[in-house]
Structure 1
Amino acid sequence: MNLAEHYNQLYKTSSETILSGNYSLDSKINDTSDSRFGITLLLRPSEKIKSNIQLFLNELKAVEPNQYYYPNSDIHITVMSIISCYEGFSLDKINVEDYIKIIEKSLEDLGEIKIEFRGVTASNSAIMIQGFPFDETLNNLRNKLRENFRNSTLEQSIDSRYSIATAHSTVMRFTENLQNPEKLIEVVEQFRDYNFGDFTADKLELVFNDWYQREENTIHLEDFLTN
């Protein structure tokens, strides 16, 4: 996949949707009865990059203060959604150790995962930071995870929603009608090619999580050191 082309096309379509008022709202983000949970392998950007992201989010908050903004603790890149969030999933349904073993096997002989966060894109319900891996290491890991989990009998739903191929990070979600969509897109345009920085992942995290990866609903299961 040509990531730059993918992000550009996504932004073109989504910005037009936002400006025409046909965007979508996330109705469940403040629903305390939301019981969608799953397990995810993820990585997190450096503190410096998170600080740069918050500067961008402050600009967005100035024009759209009532939307949902990710705190630093929740900002992440999904490496693989191993069990996509669904209602009623709980950890007692699986043996976590079995999942850890498959991930460890998939990480054998893997190089460093280095990612550049450059520019901003959008969907019809969210704003995202564009991530660009430096090489094929992340893709190689994802393919190994796919193969190893599919060859197991463990519960998994890899690629059931879509086949993950990007390295983006969602940082804002629309929860109520936008007050000023034109101004929102104006701010996003200013950061379309902004360099938030690059980082080398020092570890991957396996977590039990809700749909939004909120820290207060996350159970940390295992760290996998990557360098």
Structure 2
Amino acid sequence: MIQSIYDQMWQRFELASAHNDFELDSHLIDVANDSRRGITALAYLKQGNSLILDEIMNFQETVRELEPNQYYHPLDELHLTVLSVISCVPKFELSEINVHKYAEIFFSALSTIQQIEIKYSGVSASPNCIVLQGFPANNALEEFRNELRTQLSDAGLRVTIDSRYKLVTAHSSLIRFKTPISDGQQLFKLCKQYRNHDFGSVVLKDFELVYNNWYQNLAVTKSLARGSVLDQQRV
């Protein structure tokens, strides 16, 4: 199922490349006063195997040579979204929710799972971004997501879980298109070279619940809860 989702994305990317019909995020990606905020459970890739980050950096730099004016997610901000609890909406403030209750549920769900291993194999893309294809090695990610969904729903807290689509993949966004693509077919050919590239595997044991903007910029992100599946340490 996960591969079929990546394949569907790729087909849309191929069509956009052929017709130069990309979706550009040019009006907000560099705007300092973008007020969109949300709540997300995630894990940063920087906690894992550094060789993966090297592979990602090499890929990003290769694309940058062809498309220097796109948005390249910084390596220390690359992450796996466990669940978008509240999708980013304009002017959302933490004062609107009981942060403590969300943190309690985050820790409760975290206590039920094992560490999560993700294999990153190849890239996919859509008309607006390029992503790293992630494939869970076990059911831990799905179990974590479902536990969060269940407990948040049972608690009657404000959520927008799965409002756009049900999150089942384990992808990480690498590049977003913010300016016109100079040569769509060349970009497609370049990405096709990495379609099945082995980026490596990562074991994720540290997770966070964060208050974030649309692009998960660390300068804006505020950690609401942090924990590990190994020792259940909480912050």
TM class, shorter-length: over 0.9
In structure 1, distance between residues paired with 2:8 and 2:99: 38
- The equivalent position to 2:56 in structure 1, one of 49, 53, 56, is 53
SS at match of 1:215: coil
In structure 1, distance between residues paired with 2:215 and 2:161: 18
The answer for the alignment partner of 1:21 in structure 2 is 20
SS at match of 1:162: coil
Q: CA deviation at 1:22?
A: 1.3
TM-score (normalizing by structure 2): 0.92
Residues 1:128 and 2:127 are matched in the alignment: no
Specify every segment of 5 or more residues in structure 1 that has no aligned partner in the other structure, as ranges. none
Q: CA deviation at 1:209?
A: 0.5
Root mean square deviation of aligned Cα? 1.2
Q: Counterparts in 2 of 1:204-215, with a 5 A limit? A: 204-215=207-218
Q: Counterparts in 2 of 1:95-174, with a 5 A limit? A: 95-174=98-177
Q: CA deviation at 1:62?
A: 0.3
Amino acid in the other structure paired with 1:190 = Q
Question: Which stretches of structure 1, 4 residues or more, deviate above 2 A after TM superposition?
Answer: none
TM-score (normalizing by structure 1): 0.96
In structure 2, distance between residues paired with 1:222 and 1:8: 34
Amino acid in the other structure paired with 1:79 = V
8 Å Cα contact 2:22/2:181 also seen in 1: no
Q: Which deviations, in whole Å up to 9, do the C-alpha atoms of 1:29-88 show, x marking residues without a partner?
A: 012221000110001222321221010000000000000001112111110011111001
Q: CA deviation at 1:16?
A: 1.6
Residues 1:87 and 2:90 are matched in the alignment: yes
How many residue pairs match? The answer is 226
In structure 1, distance between residues paired with 2:20 and 2:160: 33
In structure 1, distance between residues paired with 2:133 and 2:204: 16
Q: CA deviation at 1:95?
A: 2.1
In structure 1, distance between residues paired with 2:122 and 2:215: 22
Q: CA deviation at 1:127?
A: 0.3
8 Å Cα contact 2:42/2:207 also seen in 1: yes
SS at match of 1:217: coil
Q: CA deviation at 1:163?
A: 1.0
Q: CA deviation at 1:151?
A: 0.8
In structure 1, distance between residues paired with 2:15 and 2:130: 14
Taking only the aligned residue pairs, the percentage that are identical comes to 35
The answer for the alignment partner of 2:202 in structure 1 is 199
